[in-house]
A and B are shown apart, each in its own frame.
Chain A
Amino acid sequence: MPRRSRIFYRLLMVCLACGLIATRARGQVTFERLLNSGKEPQNWLTYSGDYSGRRFSPLDQINQKNAHTLVAKWVYQTAATGKLETTPLVVDGILYATAQDDRAFALDAGTGRPIWMYQHPLPADVRLCCGRVNRGLAILGDKVFLGTLDAHVIALDTKTGSVIWDVVAAEYQKGYSFTVAPLAVKNLVVIGVSGGEYGVRGFIDAYEAATGARQWRFYTVPGPGEPGHDTWEGDSWKTGGAPAWNTGTYDAVTNQIFWPTGNPAPSNRGEGRAGDNLYSNTLLALDADTGRMNWHFQFTKHDEHDWDATEVPVMLDSGGKHLIAQANRNGFFYVIDRTTGKLILANAYGKTTWSGGKDAEGRPVAKKEASPTLEGHTVCPGALGTTNFMAPAFDPQTALFYVTARDQCDIFSTAPQPYEAGHAYYGSAYFPSDDAEPYRGFLKALDPATGEIRWKFEHTSPTWSGVLATAGGLVFTGDAEGNFIALDAASGKPLWHFQMGGAVYAAPMAFAVDGKQYVAIAAGSGVYAFGLP
């Protein structure tokens, strides 16, 4: 090759490589993009849509005027049976979601046609409380991240679904598992463990996204010598539970991750674990780089009713204050100053009988007689709580917080149960209460300024669906009868519905492809996408 040609050839190669790198980088989801997700409303980049946990889409093509014309655009059948709890992610026309038994898949978001599918091989004896479920993925760079039922954290290539790395976080044989959608922050993948029904010692982990190397772990039950350890009786901390199975939020201004935790174990027996049982049923403010705790707020101290506080904490700003709000499983709606962790208000938003008053900080405290007994007695809310894993939404336009709520009471009983590793550890059982009203289910709109209920829409029966709010003045939710429903965000009036043929256990999200807005939700065994005709 003549010298000039050789130089030309080298230049060409360099340019090609540059182009390839440029192309790659363009397709990638950087931390910058996650921070500024509002600038790309066509995409849905985290479990809750952005770092604030609001599950609010700035898209308004579908709105109050045209919602009644919505039609199904495509349906993707996952072939999985059981509850589909996933919230899809959408990045530049590709939809990423999960299904039961740790399936993950990528679809053409405009047509629903699959691009790749992955299924993690699971052992036969995983220890689960509540079905073989998964709530979704996180995305960063060229990887999506999956937490598995046998407690692995896996990075998959966004374009092929190939496994890039696979690390084991804990021993599934002892009851550890992941069902949560992880949260990608900076160069880390943050994930919280499940297993509160198995007497695990809960934790929140952060893994380096590039390599899978663990950067930090925060144990939600403090060990000897750590602050909060003295809130556990004897050795009960070793099997204290406090799982962290729902996705938290991230505040870039203070570089804090807000992550909620679940019940102390055994869930319905307080005897043997005297004390507040920190940090069970707590909102934790952790430094994103180190996992060190800045502050904590415990919603239900020494819980005996399985009222995990794992509901998504939602960051919102009001009257110049930086707040974080949570509609808790125990029936109260809490608004907290997210700078200091101080409680601002706690109001009941459903039927509650367990609390007789508030402490000096304004936190509802349990009546002594609400404790479960050997024979059992009725307490409201029931074990499933006023709300549960279903994601809420906050609409900055209406300034309302939307949450799925249920009125149900249960008979709580308690019984001694020895701990055995990897074995269900409830210390109790609960039963539907005979003398309760029929269970009722609602979508409620709460005013975070006052804690008051502004409107409610009553479902035929309680639902496990989450909520989406959009700039089109709409809220979307699903029901146990299989409907997907659009309501007026200001009044709660239903404007449209579609019968999907399977109960909803997931939360909706919105995205746009080729300039057209879609709203998507998982129901039955499928993922459904709706749009204008």
Chain B
Amino acid sequence: MALTIPHAEQVKKRFVASDLPWRGFLMASVCAGLLLAAARTFAEDHNPFAGDAKAAKAGEYEFRINCALCHGLGAHGGGRGPDLTRAQKKHVHSDAEMFQIISNGIPGTVMPANGTNGQGVGMTEEEIWQIITYIRSVELKAPAQPLGSAAHGRELFYGDANCSLCHMIEGKGGRLGPELTGVAGSRTRESIIDSVRNPSRRLAWGLTEATKEFPQEYETITVVTADGKEIKGVALNEDSFSVQMMDQNEEIYRLEKAKLRSFKKSRESMMPKFGAEILSDKDLEDIVAYLVSVGAK
């Protein structure tokens, strides 16, 4: 692992520099090897700052510089970076695992390996441990008990609450809205509830790559074609000259803007606001519990 190399180099140099007789050299090599192995084990398995408040503070600053763009200020989660304050994390449990993930990234996700995001050589081992110490200092001590019933939430999702008309989970459901299988793996309970109660709020944000949680932004598009047909749906993609969109019947349209009679884009989501009068707090908790049961897998 790249990060342990500086340590290894130092250990090696110390032995090479000393004036050793030939016989001792072999011994020294063996010792160096052992020391190297020891340094490696120590470096990756044990947090030298565990519980150290000063290190946690340093880690907070490092977190801001290196992690907060995706994981949010206070580690509460950003658009694409999971909330790291939750006790149970999707990919890691121990400090050592966390060290590995910060160092090497998570293949198949946008979590980069340390030093590979175009921002230079990355953090030192010490700084990584400080960040881990910080995350440990802000995380909840026990896994949040799901407030609702996942089984009932599933019933609602595919039944009375009509979520599945537009959202898909594990291959089942509609296509107009974002696929939600993994959504609870990265987003907090509060932000999911907010998205159900106020679906337009996130669309109103200035979304950058780092805050985009879905590949599309799901703005609402209303067009009138040259022959007078009105089409309303969500944006799949758009540039200055064309738009690709899906209407409520899940039809995909490819349109040239110059040929349209009118083109309107709105950050008012097509998803209706699910207020408490439509969906009670208890039923919403059940749906969140269902999303968590799927997303935390």
**B68, B120, B206, B210: the one within 8 Å of A438 (CB):** B206
| A135 within 8 Å of B (CB atoms) | no
Contact with A along B63-83 (1 / 0, CB 8 A): 011001100010000000000
**C-alpha gap A128/B205 in the complex (Å):** 30
| B241 within 8 Å of A (CB atoms) | yes
Q: In the bound complex, do residue B119 and residue A413 qualify as a contact, i.e. CB atoms below 8 Å apart?
A: no
**A422, A426, A437: the one within 8 Å of B65 (CB):** A426
Most chain B beta-carbon neighbours within 10 Å: one of A420, A422, A460: A460
Q: In the bound complex, do residue B206 and residue A130 qualify as a contact, i.e. CB atoms below 8 Å apart?
A: no
Q: In the bound complex, do residue B239 and residue A481 qualify as a contact, i.e. CB atoms below 8 Å apart?
A: yes
> How large, as a class, is the contact surface on chain A?
35 or more
Main SS at interface, chain A: loop
Q: Which of chain B's residues have a CB closer than 8 A to the CB of A408?
A: 206
Distance (whole angstroms) from the CB of A220 to the closest CB of chain B: 21
| A14 within 8 Å of B (CB atoms) | no
Q: Which of chain B's residues have a CB closer than 8 A to the CB of A499?
A: 239
A376-B73, A479-B240, A483-B240 known; A439 vs B119 contact (CB < 8 Å): no
Q: In the bound complex, do residue A485 and residue B207 qualify as a contact, i.e. CB atoms below 8 Å apart?
A: no
Q: Which of chain A's residues have a CB closer than 8 A to the CB of B204?
A: 438
Q: In the bound complex, do residue B69 and residue A429 qualify as a contact, i.e. CB atoms below 8 Å apart?
A: yes
Q: Which of chain B's residues have a CB closer than 8 A to the CB of A422?
A: 121
**B61, B73, B240: the one within 8 Å of A417 (CB):** B61
A416-B61, A426-B65, A432-B206 known; A483 vs B121 contact (CB < 8 Å): no
A422 to chain B: closest residue by CB:
B121
Count B interface residues, CB 8 Å.
24
| A9 within 8 Å of B (CB atoms) | no
| B238 within 8 Å of A (CB atoms) | yes
B257 to chain A: closest residue by CB:
A460
**C-alpha gap A193/B120 in the complex (Å):** 16
Distance (whole angstroms) from the CB of B265 to the closest CB of chain A: 9
**C-alpha gap A406/B14 in the complex (Å):** 53
A-B contact count (CB 8 A): 85
**C-alpha gap A431/B65 in the complex (Å):** 10
Distance (whole angstroms) from the CB of B273 to the closest CB of chain A: 19
| A41 within 8 Å of B (CB atoms) | no
Distance (whole angstroms) from the CB of B204 to the closest CB of chain A: 8
Q: Which of chain B's residues have a CB closer than 8 A to the CB of A436?
A: 205-206
A430 to chain B: closest residue by CB:
B69
B-contacting residues, A69-102, CB 8 Å: 82
**C-alpha gap A260/B120 in the complex (Å):** 24
**C-alpha gap A498/B164 in the complex (Å):** 39
Q: In the bound complex, do residue B206 and residue A429 qualify as a contact, i.e. CB atoms below 8 Å apart?
A: no
Q: In the bound complex, do residue A439 and residue B206 qualify as a contact, i.e. CB atoms below 8 Å apart?
A: yes
Distance (whole angstroms) from the CB of A212 to the closest CB of chain B: 27
| A152 within 8 Å of B (CB atoms) | no
B-contacting residues, A476-512, CB 8 Å: 479, 481-483, 485, 494, 497, 499
**A198, A432, A460: the one within 8 Å of B120 (CB):** A198
Q: In the bound complex, do residue B239 and residue A429 qualify as a contact, i.e. CB atoms below 8 Å apart?
A: no
**C-alpha gap A420/B123 in the complex (Å):** 11
Most chain B beta-carbon neighbours within 10 Å: one of A127, A128, A424, A497: A424
A423-B124, A485-B240 known; A434 vs B205 contact (CB < 8 Å): yes
A413-B64, A426-B65, A438-B267 known; A431 vs B241 contact (CB < 8 Å): no
* A-B residue pairs, 4 tightest by C-beta: A481-B239, A415-B61, A429-B64, A131-B118
Q: List 29 A-B contacts (CB under 8 A).
A: A82-B118, A125-B121, A127-B121, A128-B119, A130-B118, A131-B118, A198-B120, A409-B206, A413-B64, A415-B64, A416-B61, A422-B121, A423-B120, A423-B121, A424-B119, A428-B64, A431-B68, A431-B69, A432-B210, A433-B206, A438-B204, A438-B207, A438-B267, A439-B207, A460-B238, A479-B239, A481-B238, A497-B240, A499-B239
Q: Which residues of B come within 8 Å of A, CB atoms?
A: 60-61, 64-65, 68-69, 73, 118-121, 124, 204-208, 210-211, 238-241, 267
